[in-house]
Amino acid sequence: MDRPPRPTRAEPREIVELKQLRGEQPELASAVDMQLALVDMQRRVQSRVPLPWIQVDPEWLQAQMAAGRPLVRFRDIPIEWTDFRLTFRQTADILHRHEALDRADYDTIVVSGRDERHALEQVVATWYETTSGSDAGRAGADRLPPGAPAALDQVLLLALRPFLTRSVEAMGERADLSGWTLGHCPFCGWEPDFAVITPSAERRLICGRCVAQWTFATLTCPFCANDDRALITSFATRDGRYRVYACDVCRRYLKAYDARHAARPVMVAVDTIATLPLDAAAIQRGYLG
Ligand SMILES: [Zn+2]
Ligand SMILES: [Zn+2]
- Mapped to the 3 state alphabet, what secondary structure does 72-109 carry? CCHHHCCCCHHHHHHHHHHHHHHHHHCCCCCHHHHHHH
Q: 214 alpha carbon to ligand 1 midpoint, in Å? A: 10
Q: 123 alpha carbon to ligand 1 midpoint, in Å? A: 19
242, 236 Cβ separation under 8 angstroms: yes
| Nearest ligand for residue 185 CA | 1
**Taking residues 269-275, what's their average pLDDT?**
97
Model confidence at 11, pLDDT cuts 50, 70, 90, reads confident
**Taking residues 183-189, what's their average pLDDT?**
97
Task: Quote the pLDDT of residue 173.
Answer: 81
Model confidence at 3, pLDDT cuts 50, 70, 90, reads low
Q: 229 alpha carbon to ligand 2 midpoint, in Å? A: 11
Q: 54 alpha carbon to ligand 1 midpoint, in Å? A: 17
The dihedrals phi and psi of 166, each to the nearest 5 degrees, come to -70, -40
Q: What is the helix (H) or strand (E) element at residue 21, kind and residue range?
A: helix 13-24
Task: Quote the pLDDT of residue 139.
Answer: 61
C-alpha closest to that of 276 among 248, 250, 233, 242:
242
pLDDT tens profile 243-253: 999 999 999 99
Distance (Å, rounded) from C-alpha 226 to C-alpha 137? 28
267, 14 Cβ separation under 8 angstroms: yes
Q: 152 alpha carbon to ligand 1 midpoint, in Å? A: 18
Q: What is the helix (H) or strand (E) element at residue 272, kind and residue range?
A: helix 268-274
Distance (Å, rounded) from C-alpha 270 to C-alpha 57? 37
Q: 157 alpha carbon to ligand 1 midpoint, in Å? A: 10
Task: Quote the pLDDT of residue 8.
Answer: 61
Task: Quote the pLDDT of residue 160.
Answer: 98
Residue 2: pLDDT over 60: no
Model confidence at 114, pLDDT cuts 50, 70, 90, reads confident
Task: Quote the pLDDT of residue 6.
Answer: 59
Percent of the chain at pLDDT > 70 equals 94
45, 165 Cβ separation under 8 angstroms: no
Q: 188 alpha carbon to ligand 1 midpoint, in Å? A: 4
Residue 201: pLDDT over 80: yes
Residue 55: pLDDT over 90: no
| Nearest ligand for residue 190 CA | 1
Query: What's the whole-number average pLDDT of the chain?
Result: 93
Task: Quote the pLDDT of residue 20.
Answer: 97
Q: 1 alpha carbon to ligand 1 midpoint, in Å? A: 53
pTM summary value: 0.93
Q: 194 alpha carbon to ligand 2 midpoint, in Å? A: 15
Percent of the chain at pLDDT > 90 equals 83
Model confidence at 181, pLDDT cuts 50, 70, 90, reads very high
pLDDT tens profile 73-99: 999 999 999 999 999 999 999 999 999
Q: 250 alpha carbon to ligand 1 midpoint, in Å? A: 22
Alpha-helical regions (H) of 151-267: 152-172
Q: 74 alpha carbon to ligand 1 midpoint, in Å? A: 12
Q: What is the helix (H) or strand (E) element at residue 218, kind and residue range?
A: none
